[in-house]
Structure 1
Amino acid sequence: MRFLATKLQTENVPVADIRPEAVDEKNDAETGAAPREHIDSDSDSDAISVTAQAGVQKAEAAAKVWTRSHLIAAYVLIWCIAFIDTMQQGMTTALTPYVTSSFLQHGLTAATMVMSSLIGGIFKLPLAKILDIWGRPQGFAIMVIFCTIGLIMMAACQNVQTYAAAQVFYWVGYNGMTYTIGIFVADTSALKNRAFMFAYVSSPYIATVWVGGPLATAFLNGPGYKWGFGAFAIITPAITFPLFALFYFNYLKAKEMGMLPQRGDSGRTVLQSIKHYLVEFDAFGILLICGGFALILLPFSLYSYQADRWRSPMIICMFIFGGLLLIAFIIWEKFFAPVTFIPFELLMDRTVFGACILAGNIFISFYIWDSYFPSFIQVVNNLNITQASYIFNIYSIGSCFWSLIVGVCVRWSGRFKWIALYFGVPITILGVGLMIEFRQPDVNIGYIIMCQIFIAFGGGALVITEQMAVMAATSHQYVAVVLAVEGMFASVGGAIGSSVAAAIWTGVFPKKLAEYLPPESQPELANIYGQLPVQLSYPVGSPTRIAINKAYGEAQKTMIIVATVIQIISIVSVVVWRDIKVKDYKQVKGRVI
């Protein structure tokens, strides 16, 4: 890519406009090597890449001045941040049904996740450009601010709309923080060890899975759920500041040592800079795609609140205008956008595209069967919130534990495709499919636990291998953007899954409640449907509780059948990957693990 060197000397060259050289896939398949067009042109030297954007150059320069003690300290701090964040996330997941129920809107549990998942994932692409143009520390600090604002809003919310808006801020910040930390890991680890290091960053889930439920119970039975969010609004910036300081210290150290290429003053005024970055981050494209997806997905969870349901003028208009916005986004990106939002050139690589489709698909399936799972095990299996959190979080603890083993396997074998194709996808399909039979009333909860373990091991394998696939298929300077694209597909998949789950729930659960409830409980239909505490208030074994359980079972069966069928796409998306050998592939420079 030497011919691009002069173009990339300025910071305003978008990653998405850079097209890699052609691939000789036949030779790649025969040798098992990484694609040749994705190997840095100066990877044999340890010099700062002159073909990289400013943020990548800063990261490479910082890696060259890291001391061993600073690198170790950074990974310790990352683990501590992940521990606090995952503990807070577990608490939030356990509390969300009670938050929506407090506003008499338990049915909107999944809907609150639609916009937050959607925007949280799509924002990763502008964030990738922030990291590549301005730098890793700056992007990390911005995400901490977003996360803190979201927590403050959740602590102060007075209605479900404010809570949903707070979730958007929180998930943009939370996803952005974890994404930025992931980019730091990619900057400071050899490709053959990266699967294990990514698993290391996720390992706090193994411990925090036991904390989220009791913590939620303590706040719910004590000062209230709002105090839980408020406490973490203080803890989050406090725990993240030391890592930011360490990032920035080493960046300044590299700058003082003259290791960064000199860049001239842009000469832009403030207004010109605002216009420049609005174009650089394709702000208009972001508005089009976010608005389009939101208007198409939200009706799935809102239609049951309209008198005419699917025939409601509001629902019809949302579908029409959402479709028009997505069409406008495609036209804008194809013909008019000065800087494209999605790096279509990178997506042309079949390994990158297949990994992104896999990311989206497993999140669609996951959120379909997972959205009302905490409520199900509390109502149908009669577990308290702490016990329910243990079952609900088997996926987190199992997938994070298994991903460590997957990391070792990738380091040992030097390859990752076989893990996804022969283990991850089949065992995930098995676990989800078995839930059709076992997630029903009067079924021993041990079978549900078994299914959760299968899905956890499959998920741990798939998440790590899909990330390895997108990173191995490109060079260091494109790692941030391909991980952002992969994360965007996952988040859009999560939003689609949440929407489908909400549509099934609002279409099946209240209908079955009306069918099964005894006559004396029919006047309470709306309260039973809208509030989890009301559902739990009926004694186990009473006719009303049995009716509620049966309605849950009918809704869950429909959800899981859909989630299982969708998994077929996962098979195809893994088959198209190249079988890339990462063992001897040098991708990053400086002091790395």
Structure 2
Amino acid sequence: MSGVTYGNNVPPDYDIESKQNATPFDEEKGVNSSDGNELNYDDASSGASVINAGTAKVEAAQQVWGKTSRAFLFLGLGLAVYVYSLDGVTTWQYLFYATSAVGAHALSGTVTTAGAIIIAVGKPFMAKLADTIGRAETYIVVTICYIIGYCLLGGAQTIGMIAGGKIMYSLGYTGLQLLTSIVIADMTTLRWRGLVVAFVSMPYVLNSFVSGEIVTAFIPGRWRIGYFMFAILVPVCVLPIVFTLLWAQRQAKKLELLKPTKLEEAIKTKPLQSIKVFFAEMDAIGLILVAASLSLLLLPLGLTNRTGSLDGWKEPGNIVMIILGFALFPCFVWWEIKYASVPLMPLRFLKNPSITASLAISFIDFVSFYVVYVYQYSFFAISKTGVWTVREQSYFQNTMTIALCVFSIPTGYVMYKTRRYKNMLVFGLLLRLLGVGVMIRSRGSDGGAFELVMCQLMQGAGGAIAAVTTGIASQAGVTHADVGTVTALVLLFAEIGYSFGSTISAAIWTNTYRSALAVHLPTLNSSAIDLLYSTPTSVAVLAIDDPIRVGTIAAVSSVMKTLCIVATVVAIFPPIIAWFWMEDYELGDVQNVYDGRDLLGNKVQEGTGDKEAEQARAARV
């Protein structure tokens, strides 16, 4: 807390002279302005958007922060990412024991599917909330969701409590993930953003090693404590961010750098009218339509993924849900074009090559990755148990996570030095393609340890490059007001890719593994084949040279080969899209290149949107 004063005092590292020379404040818009360079994106000629409350608050806060308070904010970000990553690698393992404790383990797959859908559709909601009420205020909402979710899970006595806890937790989880990305974009210029994203992800490396010890301490008998622990840790770790943001907003108001938002004014003067304002700025109808559409599409994918059988697609309910999901999407587009005053997905996004390329790459890359990843554990349990120690298997499982974090640092550094990202993106996607292609051999029964590890490293390195570059490429081409929405869309498309990839993987596994077992173990009867199929890891107790295990390894290797071929074919498309479709903006000392403004909202260079506006005006003349 040193150096950050809460109350009426100006922070000790606050440069009052430079702030007095800052650009004047436009009371009508609630943001900074100077000689016609207002931070107002409501330019009909360019089709851009009006600055929102969340952006106005953070840009005003930028003028109040000094070195100490800014460092305190980044410390808070680091703590939030640490607890978020620790949560992600531990608590999912408690669900088996939670559902078993209430006698409803058979429904654990359904609960997991519901949570996955909330994580996906919750991203646009959290992005709009952060833009409508502010970053700090949304952090508070996210923390409340976490606390309620973990308390329900930790104290669950019925499957209903578990389902409710999972839904609330998923809202908090997806919100914390998204807010971290948004605040980093708020606080960093394009040139530095890649490095900051890389360093903030480093807690995943540490948690890859400590997660096993933590999980071992809480399962099987103390899983409730494992949930309750995070109900305490999350608010404690998020608290520094919330305090720093709220303090900065308060100081900015005192210095008349920030005026009350339209929603805040409505709450004070016309409480009932404020509800209408809130729903309009949230684009509530658009959120409902897109959430319903995605839920109806993802639910049958998730449920079918649990069984893997193609018979699931013959169920009338699944078919109806998919048809309704696709039918609702045109309704969403129609609403966004005709009626939405603050659209969730502005059509100008579809005209931006960097955004559409980032969305396509995120979706396809995740499809390719999860086609193989879903059954990776089963493959290694069958083929490597007894060959590798438990510790070696654990280290291998964490190899890709570590590579994703470690290789993001040189990626960010190259982007900082060259001020470009397109060549790095193409290189990373080609490296990922190579890693997937080599898996066609290494995932077979004759794959050596070196090949297996190298595949993980290549995919991790390529994935790190792709994740950092696509995220920044999508943010670079939009105004600061649009950063939250475009970030949510990129993450959303990745989640949809995960669902599609998992479904493809489950369908291939379920419809080929049984027949592969029959081919490679012709002496076994159908009952024995069914047992090996339903409990594939049970064969791991047999000696590595046992004929049944040898046949099972051959069967699983043939299925994994098919999965790897499919994943390789899919992975061909992202580098092509990146090379021919992606823009290569210069990563300068600006928040974005669309309007060429810095972190304070001041115009410092010509933006790509300025050229679009000129062209639009010329066309009208």
**Interval containing the TM-score (normalised by the shorter chain):** 0.7 to 0.9
Counterpart of 1:121 in 2: which secondary structure?
helix
Please give the residue correspondences for 1:260-339 in structure 2 after superposition, counting only pairs within 5 Å: 260-263=258-261, 265-266=265-266, 270=271, 272-303=273-304, 304=307, 309-335=312-338, 337=340, 339=342
Task: Trace 1:183-332 onto structure 2 (pairs within 5 A).
Answer: 183-220=182-219, 223-263=221-261, 265-266=265-266, 270=271, 272-303=273-304, 304=307, 309-332=312-335
Of 267-276 and 552-561, the range deviating more from structure 2:
267-276
- Equivalent residue number for residue 45 of structure 1: none
Pair 1:297–1:266, CA change in 2 (3 A): closer
Greater Cα offset, 521-530 or 121-130: 521-530
Cα distance in 2 between the residues matched to 1:441 and 1:328? 50
Q: Which whole-Å deviations, capped at 9, do the CAs of 1:221-256 have from their partners, x for residues lacking one? A: x53544433322322222222321222122212222
Shift of the 543–396 alpha-carbon distance from structure 1 to 2, 3 Å rule, reads same
1:461-517 Cα deviation digits (max 9, x unpaired): 111111111122123232222212222222222222233233333333455456666
CA shift for structure 1 position 434: 1.3
**1:521·1:544 contact (CA, 8 Å) conserved in 2?**
no
SS across alignment from 1:589: coil
Structure 1 residue 192: deviation in Å?
A: 0.8
SS in 2 for 1:380: helix
C-alpha distance in 2 between matches for 1:367 and 1:571 = 18
CA shift, 1:156, in A, is: 4.8
The AA in structure 2 aligned to 1:193 is W
Say whether the 8 Å CA contact 2:132–2:282 is kept in structure 1: no
Deviation at 1:180, TM superposition (A): 1.2
CA distance in 2, matches of 1:94, 1:228: 10
Q: Which of 488, 503, 516 matches 1:499?
A: 503
Cα drift, residue 183 of structure 1: 1.8
How many angstroms apart in 1 are the aligned matches of 2:447 and 2:441? 9
Deviation at 1:449, TM superposition (A): 1.2
Q: In the TM superposition, what whole-angstrom CA distance separates every residue of 1:246-295 from its partner, at most 9, and x where no partner exists?
A: 22122212222221135562267555434443343333433333333333
| Residues 307, 362 of structure 1: alpha-carbon distance in 2 compared, 3 angstrom cutoff | closer
Letter in 1 for 2:147: T
Contact kept, 8 Å, 2:94 with 2:223, in 1: the verdict is yes
Q: Quick check: 1:364–1:494 contact (8 Å CA) kept in 2?
A: yes
- Paired amino acid for 1:292: S
Matching of residue 363 in structure 1 with residue 363 in structure 2 = no
CA distance in 2, matches of 1:529, 1:141: 46
Residue aligning to 1:149: 148
Which deviates more from structure 2 when the two are superposed, residues 363-372 or residues 510-519?
A: 510-519
Tell me whether 1:582 sits opposite 2:587 in the alignment: yes
Partner deviation per Cα, 1:72-99 (whole Å, 9 max, x = no partner)? 1221222222222212212245666787
Counterpart amino acid of 1:131? Answer: A
The superposition leaves residues 129-148 of structure 1 with CA deviations (integer Å, 9 ceiling, x where unpaired) of 22222111011111222233
Residues 4-59 of structure 1: CA deviation (Å, up to 9, x unaligned): x999669xxxx9x9677559xxxxxxxxxxxxx99xxxxxxxxxxxx622221110
Report the Cα offset of residue 452 of structure 1.
0.5
Query: Shift of residue 201 of structure 1?
Result: 1.0
Alignment match, 1:473: 477
Question: Equivalents in 2 of 1:507, 1:162: separation in Å?
Answer: 35
State yes or no: 1:433 paired with 2:437.
yes
Q: Deviations over 1:297-337 (max 9, x none)?
A: 44345444889543333333333333333344344444455
**Equivalent of 1:354, from 354, 357, 360?**
357
3-state SS, counterpart of residue 399 of structure 1:
helix
**Amino acid corresponding to residue 360 of structure 1 in structure 2:** F
* 3-state SS of 1:261 partner: coil
Shift of 1:396: 1.6
**Which region of structure 1 is more displaced relative to structure 2, 554-563 or 452-461?**
554-563
Q: Is the 8 A contact 2:381 2:537 kept in 1?
A: no
Larger deviation, residues 489-498 vs 503-512: 503-512
Counterpart of 1:405 (choices 402, 410, 426) is: 410
1:535 CA drift (Å): 5.6
2:130 matched to which residue of 1? Answer: 131
Task: Name the aligned partner's letter for residue 257 of structure 2.
Answer: M
Per the alignment, residue 614 of structure 2 pairs with none
Q: 1:212 to 1:378 in 2, by over 3 A?
A: farther
Change (3 A) 1:155 1:527: farther
C-alpha deviation, 1:353, in angstroms: 1.3
Q: Deviations over 1:430-476 (max 9, x none)?
A: 01111122113353233221100000110111111111111221232
Alpha-carbon spacing, 1:326–1:367, altered in 2? closer, same or farther (3 Å): same
2:175 matched to which residue of 1?
A: 176
- Structure 1, residues 189-216: CA drift from partner, whole Å, max 9, x if none? 2221111011111111122111223332
- Relative to 1, partners in 2 of residues 1:365 and 1:334: Cα closer, same or farther, differing over 3 Å? same
| Counterpart residue identity of residue 384, structure 2 | N
**Structure having the higher Rg:** 2
Counterpart position of 2:35:
none
Higher relative contact order (CA 8 A, sep 6+): 1
TM-score when scaled to structure 1? 0.82
Deviation at 1:531, TM superposition (A): 5.4
- Separation in 2, partners of 1:144, 1:514: 51
Alignment-mate amino acid for residue 508 of structure 1 = T
Task: Name the counterpart of 1:28.
Answer: none
Structure 1 distance, partners of 2:399, 2:347, is 37
Supply the AA of the counterpart residue of 2:582.
W
Pair 1:170–1:135, CA change in 2 (3 A): same
Flag the 1:568–1:546 CA change in 2: closer, same or farther, 3 A: same
Task: Provide the rounded CA distance (Å) in 1 between the counterparts of 2:380 and 2:158.
Answer: 26
Report the aligned-residue RMSD: 3.7
User: 2:569 aligned with 1:565, yes or no?
Assistant: yes
How many correspondences in the alignment?
555
Give the structure 2 partner of residue 85 of structure 1.
84
Specify every segment of 5 or more residues in structure 1 that has no aligned partner in the other structure, as ranges: 24-36, 39-50
Aligned to 1:87, what secondary structure does the other structure show?
Answer: helix
TM-score (norm 2): 0.78
Q: What amino acid does structure 2 have at the position aligned with 1:460?
A: A
SS at match of 1:65: coil
Q: Partner amino acid for 1:204?
A: P
CA distance in 1, matches of 2:276, 2:140: 23
- Counterpart contact for 1:150–1:166, Cα < 8 Å: yes
Residues 325 and 125 (structure 1), Cα distance of their counterparts in 2 relative to 1, 3 Å cut: same
1:123 partner SS: helix
Q: Which residue is equivalent to 1:33?
A: none
Say which SS state the counterpart of residue 209 (structure 1) adopts.
helix
> For the residues of structure 2 that align with 1:552 and 1:101, how far apart are their CA atoms?
29
**Contact 1:121/1:172 (CA < 8 Å) preserved in 2?**
no
Please tell me whether the aligned partners of residues 30 and 258 of structure 2 are also in contact (alpha carbons under 8 angstroms). Answer: no
Look up the equivalent residue of 1:124 and give its one-letter code. K
